[in-house]
């Protein structure tokens, strides 16, 4: 069993202390406990805060290239095994760390998977439009390979069924587009 933990609502319910779960963390997000860590952003974009957080991690930490990191910056670096995923025939479709985590869980033969605090549908426009659909794909891939997704953080789900709830689904879709445009406009006004 593997638990993938984000920063969103619901992360407090993750099985941090249950011995039969592997807990996977990412970036500079503090977790009570975890078995593996991911930092798939290039070294050049890390802040001083990020470097301090990474230097404190003693568990294996997947990075893009261990040679990119200086001594002690990531005490236990491991190259993310993208080549193994590709050799296993997995699609080259990754837009965020969560997608890489789900794919590795499939490759490693986990039987159960859960995501806590991974509410990409509530995030930035990029998280909503790019990252969510990628994680949705990998969750479907995982289920298709026999993994049971026990907790999905509201991903790979729509409140209405296209066709069956046609008018309501259309209204919901338009409202979502308006909300995304409003967030984008606000970010432009704020200079982000």
pTM of the predicted model as reported, rounded to 2 decimal places:
0.89
Lowest-confidence segment of 26-30, 55-59, 117-121 by average pLDDT: 26-30
Q: Output the CATH code of domain 2-157.
A: 3.90.1480.10
Residue 158: per-residue pLDDT: 77
Residue 28 has pLDDT above 80, yes or no: no
Residue 43: per-residue pLDDT: 95
Q: Is 155 exposed, middle or buried (0-12, 13-18, 19+ CB in 10 A)?
A: buried
Residue 115: per-residue pLDDT: 95
Domain boundaries, the chain: 2-157, 159-192
Report the DSSP beta bridge partners of residue 25. Answer: 37
CA 114 to chain centre: 11
Residue 64: per-residue pLDDT: 95
Residue 81 has pLDDT above 80, yes or no: yes
From start to end of the chain, where are the E strands?
2-5, 22-26, 36-38, 61-63, 77-79, 112-116, 148-152
Average pLDDT over residues 48-72: 94
Residue 96: per-residue pLDDT: 97
Q: Helix or strand or coil: residue 65?
A: coil
Could you tell me whether strands 112-116 and 2-5 are parallel, antiparallel, or unpaired per DSSP bridges? parallel
Residue 51: per-residue pLDDT: 94
Residue 192: per-residue pLDDT: 65
Residue 116 has pLDDT above 80, yes or no: yes
């Amino acid at each position: 069993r593997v638990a993938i933990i984000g920063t969103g609502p619901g992360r407090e319910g993750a099985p941090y202390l249950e011995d039969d779960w592997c807990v996977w963390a990412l970036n500079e997000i503090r977790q009570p406990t975890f078995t593996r860590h991911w930092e798939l952003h290039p070294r050049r974009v890390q802040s001083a805060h990020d470097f301090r957080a990474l230097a404190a991690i003693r568990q294996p930490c997947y990075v893009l290239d261990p040679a990119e990191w200086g001594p002690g910056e990531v005490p236990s670096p491991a190259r993310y095994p993208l080549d193994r995923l590709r050799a296993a025939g997995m699609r080259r479709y990754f837009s965020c760390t969560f997608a890489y985590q789900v794919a590795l869980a499939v490759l490693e033969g986990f039987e159960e998977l859960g995501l806590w605090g991974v509410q990409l549908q509530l995030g930035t426009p990029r998280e909503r439009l790019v990252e969510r659909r990628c994680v949705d794909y990998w969750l479907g891939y995982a289920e298709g390979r026999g993994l049971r997704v026990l907790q999905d953080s509201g991903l790979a789900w729509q409140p209405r069924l296209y066709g069956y709830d046609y008018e309501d689904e259309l209204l919901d879709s338009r409202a979502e587009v308006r909300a995304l445009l409003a967030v984008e406009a606000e970010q432009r006004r704020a200079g982000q």
